[in-house]
Structure 1
């Protein structure tokens, strides 16, 4: 199970496949989990400061990390140094993992074309649109599948993989942060469980594949 395919462990591929099949075969799971955050009128974190902080923290963090990486790259190029290992390959990796998974796959492809209504928009939770299972395109004109904020939050994993020291710690911090953002989005009625789980797997798998393609070595995690 620890064998890797395209730099991703076999059990991760299997988890993604099994979880996807479960969400398609048993869509009630999404409704049951969403109902845990719904009191009959509102979703528990909808409009709360907690959800607001987590929701609005994602973009600034990505911008800060991206601009810092660019600044370090320019410094290294001018000074002929290798501060934090941000060289041309690292910059290419950063550009690609911030673009391909969260921007192109999740936002441009899935969110813009799947049409799945958000939990708070469905009849099940006081809205006017129909609930549709994950991975099934619909005509509800929604942007629930899959979660853009979850994908963006977990995309910070790419920066963690570039760490020379305490890589395991940084990866753990990203996973915790991404999980909190995902829970906040569900608790605010913005996404179903399948939305955030799918975004996580897309980002995790894509980031590790890109790492292998660019650096010609396994990411070790």
Structure 2
């Protein structure tokens, strides 16, 4: 065995049995509900209608002060859980020679799963391109846009659309830090993370901002991404924290060299620009003196 291979206790065994289950279960749930809601797309409308007030032509909970406070607090929780890993990585990028205060595999797993899940897949790829109008924008709920089933990309919405729920995706991402809990309590931590994600998604449904399928697929996609990265980065047979840290150190050093080269180029450009401006100024002053 290589000496620089570091295997942290508590991340194999039961953890990988759990990760396999958490990879299979969301795929099965996604396929089942995807087929069900494709066959009966009006179920999205019927569930959203439970929270809509036709007389007021709005979703009352969306303007409720307490509900919005809960929403804002819940939205901060994923960022607070991500912050330690993000700060450790930022410190390493600023000071390449320093040792990382957390295992590099854990840092990259948390930061990478957040960027790939809620960041890239949910908010950039799907929300900005799928074109599904939000419930409070569709004709059935006093809006003007046509309702679109989850499987049908359209141009009815052009920006910050309904499929999938970004906030639910962030909330479901908490399965990533939950998967790092000690093996004895990991299933409970994972279950709590899913309950949290479902509660946040349920609040968005009650607000009329998302359909059920927006929340379901936010959870499915995010949990699958987390489970795949967990197996790729924290598998004891693949995991090598020493090698990862050396790679991050090289990347940090390359980043510093790149920034240094860029600043040098900018400095040279400013110097040349200053010289040229000085020459023009001298010429104008001399010309003005001859008038």
TM-score, structure 1 normalization:
0.85
Per the alignment, residue 190 of structure 2 pairs with: 171
CA-to-aligned-CA distance 1:4-37 (integer Å, 9 cap, x gap): 8x93554432221121112222110100100111
Partner SS, residue 210 of structure 2: coil
Moved over 6 A (4+): 72-75, 77-82
User: In structure 2, do the counterparts of structure 1 residues 72 and 104 end up closer, same or farther at CA, with 3 Å as the change threshold?
Assistant: closer
For 2:188 and 2:98, how far apart are their aligned partners in 1?
30
| Alpha-carbon shift at residue 54 of structure 1 (Å) | 3.5
Residue-pair matches, total? 210
CA deviation digits over 1:121-141, x for unaligned, max 9? 011000111101002111111
> Which residue does the alignment assign to 1:57?
73
- Picking from 12, 17, 22, the partner of 2:31 is 17
Q: For the aligned residues, what is the CA RMSD?
A: 2.6
How far does residue 81 in structure 1 lie from its aligned partner after superposition? 9.4
C-alpha contact 2:122 2:166 (8 A) present in aligned 1:
yes
In 2, the alpha carbon distance for the partners of 1:98 and 1:211 equals 12
What is the CA deviation profile of residues 98-148 of structure 1, one whole-angstrom value per residue up to 9, with x for unaligned ones? 011111111111100011110010110001111010021111115001100
Larger radius of gyration: 2
> Residue deviations 1:133-174, cap 9 Å, x none?
002111111500110000001101101111126223322322
- Aligned pair 1:111/2:127, yes or no? yes
- Equivalent of 2:179 in 161, 172, 187: 161
Q: Distance in 1 between matches of 2:85 and 2:97?
A: 14
Instruction: Name 2:9's counterpart in structure 1.
Output: none
In 1, Cα distance between equivalents of 2:228 and 2:136: 35
Distance in 2 of aligned mates of 1:114 and 1:146: 9
Task: Tell me which residue corresponds to 2:151.
Answer: 135
Choose from 23, 30, 43 the match for 2:44: 30
